[in-house]
Amino acid sequence: MMKTFRRSGAALALALLTAFGTGACTLGGAAAGGYAGNKLTNGSAVGTVGGAVAGGVAGYELSK
């Protein structure tokens, strides 16, 4: 059950990033960061969201 909530949360975060008009680099960075954060923290929701945020910021900075 918790895996479903984690996946839903990650999908919601990605949908929100897309809805606010972010670029492809930001979205790709968020997806990659979320995946890496999830794997590095053994499926922790906080690690997933933190990785997505860090990846999104990195993608945004690279797209400037």
The secondary structure of residue 24, as a DSSP letter, is H
Please give the pLDDT value at position 7. Answer: 58
Domain, as residue range, for 25 = 2-62
Q: How confident is the model at residue 8 (pLDDT cuts 50, 70, 90)?
A: low
The secondary structure of residue 42, as a DSSP letter, is T
Report pLDDT digits (tens) over 9-60: 666 666 666 555 556 677 788 888 888 888 899 988 899 889 999 988 988 8
CB 30 within 8 A of CB 17: yes
Q: How confident is the model at residue 1 (pLDDT cuts 50, 70, 90)?
A: very low
Q: What is the value of pTM for the model shown?
A: 0.63
> Torsions phi, psi of 52, nearest 5?
-65, -40
* Integer angstrom CA distances of residue 19 from 1, 13, 14, 27, 45: 27, 10, 9, 11, 22
Q: How far is the C-alpha of 20 from the C-alpha of 64, rounded, in Å?
A: 17
